[in-house]
Structure 1
Amino acid sequence: MSKYNQLWQYIKDNKTGDFELSFDEIGKIAGVALDHSFLRYKKELSDYGFEVKKISLKNKTVKFHQI
């Protein structure tokens, strides 16, 4: 079980297509702040039908894409 399971489930249940979430939104949904470990855990998202398209440190956002 990953610390981002709540986020993955939220995305699976509520999103379609391409969309973007801020770091703050991700923290609220996941119940944990976004940190460097996200890079390791993001590959789990493919099990839920999505992938991380782009992480913007400047804008503090993550773009997701439905597979």
Structure 2
Amino acid sequence: MSKFNTLWAYVKKDGNTTIKLSFAEIKEILGIEIDHSFLKYKKELIEYGYEVGKISLKEKSVIFNKLPDK
């Protein structure tokens, strides 16, 4: 279990094809700010049916994309 499981569960529960969350929204969901370890752990999201599409440092946001059903 990683520190990002709460975020992954939130994204899965949302269920939309594309989800855009600001860094502030992610901090509210997790209770912590995302850090460089997010890059290491983002592959866990695949188990929840999503992937990280884009991380924008300029917009301070992350876009999550739903994976196609297999």
TM-score by length of 1: 0.94
- 1:46-61 equivalent positions in 2, closer than 5 A: 46-61=46-61
Write the deviation string for residues 29-61 of structure 1: whole angstroms up to 9, x where unpaired: 112111111000100000000000000001100
> Secondary structure at the residue paired with 2:17?
coil
- Aligned-pair RMSD on alpha carbons? 0.8
Aligned-pair CA distance for 1:19: 1.7
Larger radius of gyration: 2
Instruction: Say which is worse superposed, 52-61 or 9-18, in terms of deviation.
Output: 9-18
- 1:1-67 equivalent positions in 2, closer than 5 A: 1-67=1-67
Aligned-pair CA distance for 1:15: 2.9
Residue-pair matches, total: 67
Contact 1:49 1:66 in 2 (8 A): yes
Aligned-pair CA distance for 1:23: 0.4
Query: Which 4+ stretches in 1 moved above 4 angstroms?
Result: none
Gaps of at least 5 residues in structure 1 are none
Letter of the 2:8 counterpart: W
Gaps of at least 5 residues in structure 2 are none
